[in-house]
Every structure is written in structure tokens, then in C-alpha cells.
Structure 1
Amino acid sequence: MSRKVSVIIPVYNAERYITQCIESLLSQTLLECEFIFVNDGSKDNSRQIIENYTKLDDRVKLINQKNQGVSIARNVGLLSAIGEYVGFVDADDYIERDMYEILYNSAKQSDCDIVVSNFESEIEGHTVITKYPFPVDTVLKRDYIEEEILPYFLKTDDLNTACNKIYRNKVIKENNVKFPDKVALGEDGMFNMRFFSNATIMKYIDYTGYHYREVVGSATRNISEKDYFSRALEVYNLELPEIYSGRTDKEKVRQLKSIKLLNSVISYIHIYFMPSKDVSFNKRYKYVKNMIGNKHIRESLPIYYSELYSALGRYEKCVIDLIKRKSTLGLYCVTVYSRFRNR
């Protein structure tokens, strides 16, 4: 059977949720898929669970490796992918039965290199659907990608995920598009920048088939082990793909990256001022204090004020003003109040 979509699933200690993930994959209405699980040195029963499924369905492939991180795991999966298109799913998450059929048919209908869809997140008990300000069900060509999509990656993180898209495998292989193996945060964004730099036709569909689950200790919320701000600075200072230097004004790049950095800081303030059993309040307070005093933040503030401040809501304006005043105590009080109001 030819494979229309290769789905790559990096796995590390995911036994609690992986059965639901696998079942959602095997129930896909698009039958011509392969599911490549890359076990990244799991210490729980993840490997055994996947091995049991390989005996039940020949579409399930398992690759075992020592722990090397999600980027290398995905790159290993890409080397094995034989599908016309490639998709990615995280082992904690699950998808709708028709997701890959809808994305694949949409791609084939217009001969797209990439199709982008929405995704649903479950964060702190609230469900949020992420959508994008792009024309819906419209063939978007190279000029749109260069003028709208590539700059979009510089100013926000919400398009970064690889899990709500399918990518033409030929474009990946011919251009050696890979996940960066030495970037601890933002590796999805770099992969997407590299892919879109080589894409000629895309489409955005207003469809939500991917369900992202926020779990305790997940990569995006494990503050006891992850230094989020340092990693955001890495992304801020990272050398961009070559296409940006030729197409985007340097000052515009700096402007967009400054906005993205400050938006990240706003979200990190919220995360670090949430109650935590693993990290003391004093340590989290000091972290936020050092973060808002960082020279890159101070340099980015005037740009943020001139470009975005007037359009912000009252809460965001208050947070930015407190960052400008270096008021860590004020930021703590505002985040506690916001959390109380949103219960």
C-alpha cells in the first residue's frame, strides 16, 4: 500500500496518554497512513505499549533510540518517512478521526506544499482554539508566503507547532529541511521557517482536528528544569534562514523579534507566578525580576510601545507598564488578581 501521509510521533515517558494517542491515529478515516513512533529512551512502559500495537497493525512502526531530545527524534522519523506528506503528533495528544483525510484532500485539491489548520489547547482547565488571520480555503502562493507568513514567525509563536500541518515530503527531502538539534526552545518554529522558505503553495483551512494536552511536567510548563527566558533569548539571537536577509528589512526583523520576545516574557511572568510545589516563591520572584531587567527586554520596550501598546487591552497595558517600571511586586499582584478573576 502506498502511504499518503507519514505521521511521526516522538515518545518519551508517555505511558499515561499514549494509548489514546495511538487509538486516535489508528482510527483515521484516511487509511493510507504510516505511524512512525520514535521512542526517545523512555524509562516507563511506552515502548512495550507501542510494541503491542505493532503486532496488531502493520501501519505502526517503532524506532528505538537513546534519549537525544524531540528534535533528533523527529529527524530520525523523517529519514524513515515514505509518505507523500508528513505530519507530526506528540505522544500526549490526540486527533480527530478525519484529521489527516481532511488535510490530505485539501493539499491534493490545490497541489499544496503545506496545509495549515487550527488546533485546540487544554490549558489550566480552559479550552482554547488557535486560529490564524490568513485567507481561508484559498491557494496562497509564494509572494504571500514571503510577505505574510515568514514575517509572522518573527512576531509570534502561535504558528510554530508542527502538529497542525501536513508537509510535502518531497520538499523536506530535496531541501534537507530538519529540526535544529541544538535549540532547546523554538525548534518547531525553525523547522517551519526552513520549510516555508522552500514552499511555493500553501493553504489555511478553518478546521480543528488536533487536541493539545497540557500535562504536568510537559516541555512547555516544566519550570523546575527549563530556563524559558534563556531559551527565548536564544531564539531572539538565533541566525535566521537566508531568505530573511534578502527579503526582509533588518529594522523590521528587529522590530518583529522584539515584539515576540516581550510577548514571550508576558506569558512567562504568568507561568512563573503560578503556585508551584517544585520551585520556591523566592526563586520564581527573583527569576522574574532578572528577566524584566535584562538588557534585551529594556531595548525591546520602546519598540513594543510604539508598535503595539495602543492596541493592547487594559491588563496587557498594565503588565507592560509594570515591566517598564521594573516592578516585580506589581507584576505578581496583577497576575494573582488576573488568575482570581478568571476562575
Structure 2
Amino acid sequence: MPQISVVLPVYNVEKYLKQCLDSLINQTFDDFEVICVNDGSTDSSLNILEEYASKDDRFRIISQQNKGLSGARNTGMNYIKGNYLLFLDSDDWIEENALELLYNQVSNLDSEMIIFPYRYYNQETGKYNENDFTKLNMFDSSIDNKNFNYKNIPEIVFRIPHESIKLYKVETLKKLAVKFPEGLNYEDAYFFYKIFFKLNKVSIIRTPIYNYRIRSDSICTTGSEKSFDIFKILTSIENFLKEDKIYDELKDEFILFIVINLKFVYLRLNESFRNQYLREIKENYEFFALNQINKDHLATWHFDDRVFYNAIDVSNNGVEFELNYKKGYYEFLANHYEGVINHLQQQNQVLTQENDSLKEQLANTSIKNKFKKIVKL
């Protein structure tokens, strides 16, 4: 029985698949299996999988008609034999010591989930990018090298990356019987939070071990009609928060999470869908408690999230919203930079006065000035 099972959904990724598979073959930890779910690929992806499986019996191939990412992951989970599970997207890749670091951590702490940092890789520019979010800087050092649960970090539970690139304890997953919602985008958020709030032993590592490829044709970068799935996902999360009777204690942070995700989708949405999108926000306005926002909590939001929320509040259609959002955004920036300019001008005046004072002191103490005083005597 392998220690770690890697579930690898594969659909038409012939350009990137070998890099992904090579990153697995080159792991410094070798007690793992890879469940490759060929999700109806029509390119040469299956041929590539067969090539690798013929050389390494840790790779197993399951072929099925196309069910999408969620369907492929769910299928893969039916075949795993390991004690721990890692999901890996087939256009991404992991560092060579990734599985070793994860296994060492889980061996020491017996965690039910391990959250780890990752890096974005821009396919078009060839550049890597990290930020406070991907580096897990929302966690302070007090939770390092120990297990925690959501009660220990209530103020940041909805700021944690919810992509399913985590290590999961298989025994726990089987008890919870959680599956990805098939046919929906943004399935990662549902899967993560459905599990996360049930766990008592979560830990993190600080080393970035996962490389997340950003490409123009991926789901997260296309603003199609499937973007409206965000409403179903957010509704599902709210429902199980209420079922578990933890909604009230997390309400303020969850409302901010809703606004951030609505904004994330809007900024990528095709313009032809924006009227419809705003209508759906308005229809869910009270259900998402957007009319019950704590004003003190609102003041702590990032300005862009506040501007987005305020534009929703005063707009009746997509055109109005677009104008109000831009107007609020530019007004904030104008006021912000006006304040910055005024502050810099005041600092400049202070420095000018200090400089003049210094010049006067130097003049009074200079040899030339002393000589003039002697002559006068």
C-alpha cells in the first residue's frame, strides 16, 4: 500500500503533461502511486500517459468519457490505495522534494490536512509570481509545526487559499464522504470548506512546492456563462455553515468572502453577461446578507472591495454598476493620492525649514563668519 496517492485528471494537455509527469517521477520520495484519469482527451494525452505507465508501474490509467475536472477527481478518488491524497492538475507540476516534505510533516503531526504555499507560473511571460496569499502569510508563526482548526484562526478562515492543492488524510475523507460538485466551476471552494470546518488537525508548511500554471484558456481566466456557478457554490457554502451552526460566528468574514469572490468573477466576466450578473447579485442580496454588513467590519476591508460593494448597493443594471464602480474607484484613488501629496508637501516644508536652519547655523559657526567678527573688533 503506497503512503501517498496522487490523483491526476488529464484532459487535452499534451503541451504540458510531460513536465507534470516528470515532476512526479523525479520525486525524492518514492512510496506513492499516481491515478491518471484520462477524462476523454482527444489529443495525444492518453498516448503520453501510456508511455509513462509502461515504464513505471506506480502510474495507473483510468479512462472515461469527459466529465470535467470535478468528475475526473471524483473518479480518481474511487481508485486510490494510499493513506494520503494529493490532487495535481496535469498542466501544473510539483517540486522534486514535495512529497517528501509533505510525508515528513504528516508523519510528525498526524495531520488530517496539510496546506502548503505555491507559485503562479505565467505561460505567456514565462515568469513566476508569489504574493502574501500564495505564501500563506495570513498565518502567523504561532501555528507553525503544530495542528490547528478553524476555531484557532476565525479571523482568517476565509482568507486561506481554497484551491484543492492540499494533502488530505484518506481515512478522514472517507468518513466525511465529500465529493466535488460535478458540472460546476469553482468546485475547489466547496470541497475545501466542506472538509475544513470538520477537521481538528490541520497544519501548514512554509516551503512553496506547487507550481500553478496560468494560461489564457483555463477555466479561471475565461469569463463565460459558467461563471454564474459562483452563486451556486456560495449558496452551498452558506447552507452548510448554517447546518453546522457556525454561520453566526463567521458571518462578517463570510460576507467579505462573498464580496471578494463576486468581484473576482466580475472582473473576468465577458461584458455581454454583466447585466445578468448584476441582476443575480441583486436577487441574492438578502440571502447573502449583503444588507446586513457590519459597518465597523466594512471599514477594515480593502478599498477595492468596499468600492465594489457600494457600487452594487446603488446600481440597477450592468451599465450603472460599471460606471459607479469606476467612479468610486477613481474617487478613492484621487482622495488617497491628494492626501499623500498634501502629506509630502508638509514634509517638504518641514525639511526646507530644517535645511534653512542648518544653513544659518553653519554660517554662524564658519571660519569666515568668525573672521568678520574679529575685523569688526
TM-score range, shorter chain: 0.7 to 0.9
Q: Is the 8 A contact 2:266 2:274 kept in 1?
A: no
Residues 322, 331 of structure 1: 8 Å contact kept? yes
**8 A contact 2:6–2:33 mirrored in 1:** yes
Partners in 1 of 2:237 and 2:259 — Cα distance? 19
Are positions 1:167 and 2:174 aligned together? no
- Does the 8 Å contact 1:116/1:205 carry over to 2? yes
Is the Cα–Cα contact under 8 Å of residues 194 and 237 in structure 2 kept in the other structure?
no
The alpha carbon displacement at 1:266 in A equals 1.7
* Equivalent position to 2:150, from 145, 161, 165: 145
Letter in 1 for 2:229: R
Whose Rg is larger?
2
1:264 corresponds to which letter in structure 2? N
Q: Summarize deviations over 1:249-274 as a string: whole Å, max 9, x none.
A: x44455444322211122223223xx
TM-score, structure 2 length as denominator?
0.74
TM score, norm. by length of structure 1: 0.80
Q: Deviations over 1:203-250 (max 9, x none)?
A: 1111211111122221212223x432x2121122226686753441x4
Q: Kindly provide the amino acid, as one letter, of the partner of residue 104 in structure 2.
A: N
Pairwise CA distance, 1:47 = 0.8
Counterpart in 2 of 1:321?
A: 310
**What's 2:20 paired with?**
21
**Equivalent residues of 1:194, 1:241 under 8 A apart:** no
Separation in structure 1 between the aligned mates of residue 239 and residue 281 of structure 2, nearest angstrom: 28
Change in Cα spacing, 1:64 to 1:285, as seen in structure 2 (3 Å) is same
Task: Identify the residue that residue 68 of structure 2 maps to in structure 1.
Answer: 69
Measure the CA separation in 2 of the matches of 1:245 and 1:44.
44
Cα drift, residue 336 of structure 1: 11
Partner-residue secondary structure (3-state), 2:43: coil
- For the 8 Å contact 1:3–1:34, the answer to whether it is kept is yes
Q: Distance in 2 between matches of 1:309 and 1:48?
A: 53
Instruction: State the SS of the aligned residue for 2:130.
Output: strand
Letter matched to residue 243 of structure 2: S
Does 1:233 pair with 2:234?
A: no
Alpha-carbon distance in structure 1 between the residues aligned to 2:105 and 2:187:
26
Matched, 1:133 2:138: yes
Kindly state the Cα deviation for residue 323 of structure 1 after the two structures are TM-superposed: 3.0
**Structure 1 residues 114 and 298, CA gap change in structure 2 (3 angstroms):** closer
**Cα–Cα, structure 1 residues 246 and 147, in superposed 2: closer, same or farther, change >3 Å?**
farther
Q: What value does the CA root-mean-square deviation take over the aligned residues?
A: 3.1
Query: Any conservation in 2 of the 1:259–1:300 contact (CA below 8 Å)?
Result: no
The answer to whether the 8 A contact 1:288-1:328 is kept is no
Question: Structure 2: 5+ residue runs without aligned partners?
Answer: 316-320, 332-377
Q: How far apart are 1:315 and its partner, in Å?
A: 3.9
* Structure 1 residue 30 corresponds to structure 2 residue 29: yes
Contact 1:74 1:179 in 2 (8 A): yes
In structure 2, the CA distance between the partners of 1:315 and 1:261, relative to structure 1 (3 Å rule), is closer
SS in structure 1 of the partner of residue 219 of structure 2: coil
Distance 1:264 1:15, change over 3 A: same
CA separation of 1:199 and 1:265: change in aligned 2, threshold 3 A: closer
Superposition pairs of residues 268-283 of structure 1, within 5 angstroms: 268-272=265-269, 281=271, 283=272
Is 1:113 aligned with 2:102?
no
Cross-structure match for 1:259:
256
**1:178 matched to 2:143:** no
The CA distance in 2 between the partners of 1:241 and 1:313, in whole Å, is: 26
1:302 CA displacement:
4.1
Aligned length: 319
Contact 1:29/1:97 (<8 A) preserved: yes
Distance (Å, rounded) in 1 between the aligned partners of 2:16 and 2:306: 39
* Aligned residue in 1 for 2:83: 84
Structure 1 unaligned runs (5+)?
A: 273-278, 338-343
Q: 1:241 to 1:263 in 2, by over 3 A?
A: closer
Q: Which segment drifts farther, 291-300 or 54-63?
A: 291-300
